[in-house]
Amino acid sequence: MRAVDDDDASVGNLHGQSSCFMPLLQNDEEYIAPRIVQIAGAYPGADVETYLSLTSEPSADRGQWAYDFSDPSGPHTGTVALPGMSTVHETEDPVALIADHQSMGVLLPEAIKDPVDLVVLCDRARRNFSERKFLVLRLEGSDVVTIRAFENKGDVPGGAEILGHVTLVQIPWLPSMQKKKSGFMEEDTLFN
């Protein structure tokens, strides 16, 4: 089941449609997310008041990631730690969006009924058309972003502005997902 905004339903392709696929990174049950930690200053010279005033968030559960919204009452422009990998490193002007899997067309196991948050990494420096790559768009007359892929440039709606490309979509590991195989039949049959 794919929940798609009616206004966007006729625009481009979702993940898996017309052989267009987003670059997905599926966490496993052993994944340990990088941790976001505030900086209290430079040593020597860091003052005690600042050191003691900073807050920290607990580590994310294995298979998950953590968000940090510095000002919970302000706009939802927090931070999220992404893994150290070439795709993340090579994203020139990164920004992340949080999207539910249904709105992106990402299929998860049937046991998962509720929407699952995905981290969508976008590169704002890539503002050119690429066929069958997921583009971040501003559709004419709209103030919200739309993410879709197109087989050719002529399929992009007239007046749409390309705001970037999707470079990675991170999926959390959830208990209803299949565990990673150990490579030892005895372990795999014992614990599954």
In tens, the pLDDT along 47-96 reads 677 766 777 676 778 888 777 766 666 655 667 888 878 888 888 888 88
**Residue 37 and residue 81 in contact, taking contact as beta carbons nearer than 8 Å:** no
Predicted pLDDT of residue 84: 76
Helix and strand numbers (H, E) in the chain are 4, 8
Residues forming a β-bridge with 148: 135
- The pTM score is 0.70
187 Cβ neighbours under 8 A, 6+ residues apart = none
